Structure 1
Amino acid sequence: MRETASPPTSRKPSGDDGQAAPAARRPFSARLRTALGPLPWISPAIILIAFVVLWPVVEMVRSSFLRIRRSGIVKGSNGTDNYKKLFDEPDFTHVLWNTMVWVVCVVGITIVLSLALAQLFNQQFPGRRVARWALIIPWAASVFMTAIVFRWMLHHSYGAINTLLVDLHVIDEGKDWLGEPSTAFPWMIGVAVFVSLPFTTYTLLAGLQTIPGEVYEAARMDGASTWRTYLSVTLPLLRPAILVAVVINLINVFNSFPIIWAMTGGGPGYETDTTTTFMYKIKASDIGESAALSVVNFGIIIVLVLLYLGVNRWNKEAD
């Protein structure tokens, strides 16, 4: 006798057999509780960011549209007059140019030198540990104090650098290196590179140490030269570390104040000013205009970072 096939049993919907229902079918209150679950743990950080970062930015933007006396008393709205006054400043274009030269030179030279130092410190050589420790010194020392030391070393009468150059008969007499913009600006760039090297070098060194040795072995087996291996293997794999180093250096160098202020004060006149020191100077006469320049600075650094991230993403997609 032929058995009759039993009718197919209906499958229970997900969630009726004790299993968890899909997230899309869960009640809104349950999904909300899941989303807000980490909030008690991250709320202190959120509150700190709100007070330390977001609130000052909001106040900075608000102040740029106010008429504020030098005593700090708000006299009312000033519309966009603060921005008009800023852009009409005769030295503003020159200060912007100084800022671009400052950022490009310091960040570019720092990255190039740090790539070389990171490659050196990634090798085995006698005294490597001591050399690594020595590199930390410019980073550990106060940036302002480092700038003061270099200012005294460059003093035209009794500075150590002038004394050494005169003794070596490189120059006939002491030179006022910081008194002329043509020599002061390169020296400030050199000091900024000096204090930026430790962080950048260690960032790139950390990136180098994450590259597996197998890729270098494969490159050697393929007959690649040392230079070709560096260009085709090392640099592409270092891209995340280079990205971090460039972005952080862009922000730090653009907002750098102690080096310029300690060495030249932006002088003579506004010849060695960047937007950061120029903003500090005009604050003495017009707080609203200074706040407007703060907003412009904030916008410029955001644009620079976004441009670099966009170029980096485009290069990555092109590869």
Structure 2
Amino acid sequence: MSTHTTPRPPRAARSAAPRRPSGIAARLGPLPWIGPAVALIVLVVLWPVYEMVRTSFLNISISGFVRGSAGLEQYRRLFDEPDLAGVLTATVVWTVAVVGVTMALSLALAQLFNQRFPGRRLTRWALIAPWAASVLMTAIGFSWMLDRTAGVLNTLMTDLGLIDAPRDWLGSPATAWPWMMCVAVFVSLPFTTYTLLAGLQTIPGEVYEAARVDGTSTWQTYRLVTLPLLRPAFLVGVVINLINVFNSFPIIWAMTRGGPASDTATSTVFMYQLKSSDIGLSAAMSVVNFALVVLMVVAFLKVSRWNADSKEEAR
């Protein structure tokens, strides 16, 4: 009678086999890995939001002492502010105009940088300059350039005979808003252009080959192939620009401080102006701003059918 014995694997092979976590490690799962990120989000995002909402319901003196609960009084006072309607209207126009012009110019620049031409690397590096510089520093530089007495723009235009006398470009809302929008577009172009350029470079060349075989024209290929495949990168650029431009503070504060009065203020700058007179009222404006940002982004994603496309891709 013969017996067959299965040979045991070498000790090295047995020791190299993966071991499943047991005990406390098994119950915690991935928590030790994601715990620091969750703690950072709670500390940096959720806790300030909680404090902001809590402060909006308090009666706080200018010196910072809490005098008790104010209930909804701060919000009633806020919506009774005579400048609020004009500020919200200006905020909408500011956001839509800056984001729209930024996306259009960035799309054109991304298409240009996606082509091969002499000096392409140098021009790509040059585009990073507005992004590398501080937004506040850029805004201050433009405000110096537009200064009424010593500004380069007034000096140049006077010497060329384009204007008879120096103009106060930032003293009137009619001229201050266009210049501030130009600065906002200027500092927003680098990120948006590189986001769209990255999206263009992920489109496989075989798709364009198939389009040429089908006999589609250049415009049809761009409309039916390039733009649909560029849509994810385009949506990322729009959403991030909506948030950044809506919350933009340094450009307006450095160039006009929202004045005269609140004629060149967005809701973010108006919130800061209120802080000098009433901290609780400023906190209420902060809550309104936060709600507007959330509603704006959710509405845009809903209109763009982001969720529906994500589900279709998942299938």
| TM-score normalized with structure 1 length | 0.87
Q: Tell me the equivalent position of 2:207.
A: 215
Q: Unaligned regions of 5+ residues in structure 1, if any?
A: 1-29
Q: How does 1:33-48 map to 2 (within 5 A)?
A: 36-48=28-40
Q: Within the alignment, does 1:228 sit opposite 2:210 as a pair? A: no
| 1:132 equivalent in alignment to 2:129 | no
1:164 Cα offset (Å):
2.0
Partner of 2:69: 77
Query: What is the distance in 1 between the residues matched to 2:255 and 2:93?
Result: 17
Q: CA deviation at 1:292?
A: 0.5
SS in 1 for 2:304: helix
CA distance, structure 1, for counterparts of residue 98 and residue 307 of structure 2: 23
Q: 1:269 aligns with which of 257, 261, 273?
A: 261
Alpha-carbon displacement from aligned partner over 1:204-233 (angstroms, at most 9, x marks no partner): 000000000111111122222222211111
1:303 corresponds to: 295
1:194 alignment partner, one of 183, 186, 195: 186
Give yes or no for the alignment of 1:288 onto 2:269: no
Whole-Å Cα distance in 1 between the matches of residues 121 and 26 of structure 2?
A: 48
Q: Deviations along 1:18-72, whole A, 9 cap, x unmatched?
A: xxxxxxxxxxxx9x97673111111111111111000000010111111011111
Aligned-residue Cα RMSD (Å) equals 1.8
| TM score, norm. by length of structure 2 | 0.88
Q: Confirm or deny that 1:166 pairs with 2:158.
A: yes
| Number of the residue aligned with 1:5 | none
Deviation per CA, 1:137-183: give whole Å up to 9, x if none: 00000100100000010112221112222233222222111111001
* Alpha-carbon distance, 1:298 to partner: 0.3
Compared CA separation, residues 126 and 46, structure 1 to 2 (3 A):
same
Unpaired runs of 5+ residues, structure 2, are 1-21
* Secondary structure of 2:305 counterpart: helix
Query: Is 1:142–2:134 an aligned residue pair?
Result: yes
> Which among 30, 41, 57 is matched to residue 65 of structure 1?
57
Specify which of 54, 59, 65 is matched with residue 46 of structure 2. Answer: 54
User: Percent of aligned positions with the same letter in both sequences?
Assistant: 68
Distance in 1, Cα, partners of 2:259 & 2:249: 13
**What per-residue deviation string (whole Å, max 9, x for no partner) do you get for residues 212-263 of structure 1?**
0111111122222222211111111011101111111111111110000000
- 1:281 deviates by 0.7
Which of 34-43 and 84-93 deviates more? 34-43
Q: Deviations over 1:190-210 (max 9, x none)?
A: 000000000000000000000
* SS of equivalent residue, structure 1 residue 76: strand
How many residues of Structure 1 are paired with residues of Structure 2 in the alignment? 289
Report the AA paired with residue 299 of structure 1.
A
Paired with 1:71 and 1:276, the residues of 2 have a C-alpha distance of 22
Q: Is residue 96 of structure 1 aligned with residue 81 of structure 2?
A: no
The whole-number CA distance in structure 2 between the counterparts of 1:246 and 1:93 is: 25
Equivalent residue of 1:177, what SS? coil
Write out per-residue CA displacement over residues 255-288 of structure 1, whole angstroms, 9 at most, x where no aligned residue.
1100000000001111000011110011111111
